[in-house]
Amino acid sequence: MKALIVHGWGADSSSNWFPWLKTELEKSGIETFCPDLPNTQNPVKEDWIETLRAQAEFKGDIILIGHSLGCPAILRLLESFEKGENARAAILVSGFAHDIGIPQIREFTKDGFDFAKIRSACDEFSVINSDNDPLVPLEEGGFLAKALGTELIVEHGAGHINAGDGHLEYRRVLEIMRKIKP
């Protein structure tokens, strides 16, 4: 089993709970990638997808974990899968699928998503959003969960589930990872 952690806008591999999660997963024997995506302040969707595709082969033994803008990036990655490519699971934290009012990241959600293709490219999904996220409305999590055929996990009072809201560790992702069968 492998894991690919995808950070969000303005972040990098050393941000938030990503280093902690990478360490925890590696302790469990899960090879974990957490790349620094290019031009994080003014991201280009195609550059991010190209960087993510270069991290690993997508042959059904990989779990994708995204935070914030990392979630629509994962959706775009799954849309790009060709025949024979698949992900075991995707865990989307503080994710969204619509324009949330930040001009620098609009291109990631522009023109909507092919959710049928996304669902066929990944075996299972987990969607987690907070009820007081200042950037991503809870309704976005609800939309994502419905579109992906899963239930929304609501964190109460967790903000954007990032370091700014006190999340240098995020055990919920580990709990979900432990339930995923190889």
Helix ranges restricted to H, 28-153: 45-53, 70-79, 115-120, 138-148
Q: How many helices (H) and strands (E) does the chain have?
A: 6, 6
Q: Which of 15, 68, 126, 130 does the annotation list as catalytic?
A: 68
With CA atoms as reference, report the closest residue to 5 among 28, 29, 30, 27. Answer: 30
Q: Which of 7, 67, 160, 167 does the annotation list as catalytic?
A: 160
Tokens of 156: 């109460």
Active site residue 47: no
Kindly calculate the radius of gyration of the chain based on its CA atoms and give it in whole angstroms: 15
Active site residue 133: yes
Q: Which residues are catalytic?
A: 68, 133, 160
